[in-house]
A and B are shown apart, each in its own frame.
Chain A
């Protein structure tokens, strides 16, 4: 079965600084891979590289069958990205933002409404994004990613700012993604919350990945972090 993400010696520069300095990473279909590491280790950069938001400066990279060195756009419709910002518009309501993002991805309006209900955002549906709290914005970001029915979730600190029901929903999203054979790459400092869902943990240090290559045979099984010499 083809890999969902395949990076070899991937280098990504932010200005002249190598935020990723030769990363190898494989993510198989149905896998949930936890990215851990300190601040500035390169977790967010890795997610943005996989999403095609940053260019691959050296090495090889393939995401959902798209060669990142030639094309950074074709696979985006199949990605659900939850970053530190929602990517939403303050003057649009929750429902309008959600519908815009799902329609743009070719998903149905019903998918947007389902996500709205699943994340218990219905009572906020007509509230402008600019008036949402941080946690509510995070929920909306998750709803957008969920409604697009992506093959690959890219989640950057998804627990940040979420209350208990929001975290419970995120747990359900992670469990459901594994059941449906979707892959998840999740960067987090809240390791104890993510490890129960992770098939593997990849530790990033100074732009280099450790424990990245072995693919676990059983998805959704919690594993201890693996740290190896690159």
Chain B
């Protein structure tokens, strides 16, 4: 099998597990909506304020949800010696990385799509320029998924991984928060030209972490 066929096998397995466990629909999505509501309560009932900060709130919520997704992606490998099963499977480390990152990216994209509806409804936000917004969201999500998968396996064999992953991951993905928020702001304000440099930054981040992950995931999995 090629790297992509092996990655598809791993991604299919992870997505099937998530579809069965319904962690996104029953835990992560309600979590995201609750965070949005809490922000709305905490900041101001004035919709003007919420509209201005909506992109930042959206991406902070996505970041927090991605931590849950990363934790979940590796907790399934901790059951029944599944991580050993994966290592013994004969699959290449880069294929496993790609598969797990793709599955996480798909889960995050579903979450973001539903959360976008929540932002539009709760904060009365109008999405003026969709191409920059969609491309920026995809690039940011790929970057988050790649970095999350890489740091997830780094902490996989550690007992305190649930607390370690946020400490390791959040500083690394700060550029995603910045870039994605700016790209969304520009798209919402209707000045898409301002969004493209940020979309490019997000694309570079994504390519960088996909590359590093493909190289480093295998050795890290062996040591986990």
Contact = CB atoms under 8 A, between A and B. Distances in A.
A96 B218 CA distance: 24
A53 B84 contact: yes
B90 A76 contact: yes
Contact of B88 (A51, A91, A129): A51
B88 A89 contact: no
Nearest to B21: A91
A91 B87 CA distance: 19
B43 interface: no
Given A79-B88, A81-B88, A103-B9, A89 B1 contact: no
Nearest to A100: B13
Interface residues of A, number: 29
Interface of B: 1, 6, 9, 13, 16-17, 20-21, 76, 79-82, 84-91, 218, 222
Nearest to B22: A91
A195 to B, nearest CB: 27
A103 B91 CA distance: 10
Residue with the highest number of chain A CB atoms closer than 10 Å, among B20, B85, B91, B218 = B85
Contacts of B20: 91-92, 128
What secondary structure prevails in chain B residues at the interface with A?
A: helix
B1 A90 contact: no
Given A96-B16, A100-B13, A90 B90 contact: no
Given A81-B88, A88-B82, A100-B13, 17 more contacts: A72-B222, A77-B89, A77-B90, A85-B82, A86-B80, A87-B85, A91-B17, A91-B76, A92-B17, A92-B20, A100-B9, A101-B89, A104-B6, A104-B89, A104-B90, A104-B91, A106-B1
Contacts of A96: 13, 16
B13 to A, nearest CB: 5
Interface of A: 51-53, 72-73, 76-77, 79, 81, 83-92, 96, 100-101, 103-106, 128-129, 137
